[in-house]
């Protein structure tokens, strides 16, 4: 599956695995997921 980003009524949505979304530096959700995934790797 590839990462997809689309807009509906001026709201941006991101689709993909958490790792794919985390690579999107322009996404607030991606930034949040990136931090969570970093913490999971440390455990």
Kindly list the domain boundaries of the chain, sorted by start residue: 4-42
Assessment of whether the complete model's pTM goes beyond 0.75: no
Q: Identify which of 7, 5, 2, 6 has the alpha carbon closest to the alpha carbon of residue 19.
A: 2
Under DSSP, the state recorded for 14 is E
Which pair of tokens denotes residue 40?
Answer: 């999971």
Q: How many CB atoms lie within 10 A of CB 14?
A: 18
Summarize pLDDT for 1-22 with one digit per residue, the tens.
577 888 888 888 888 999 999 9
What kind and span of H or E run contains 8? strand 4-8
Which residues in 1-43 belong to E strands, given as ranges?
A: 4-8, 11-15
What pLDDT was estimated at residue 26? 85
């Amino acid at each position: 599956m590839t990462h997809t980003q689309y807009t509906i009524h001026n709201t941006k949505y991101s689709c993909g695995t958490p790792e794919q979304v985390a690579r999107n530096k322009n996404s607030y959700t991606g930034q949040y997921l990136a931090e969570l995934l970093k913490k999971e790797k440390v455990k």
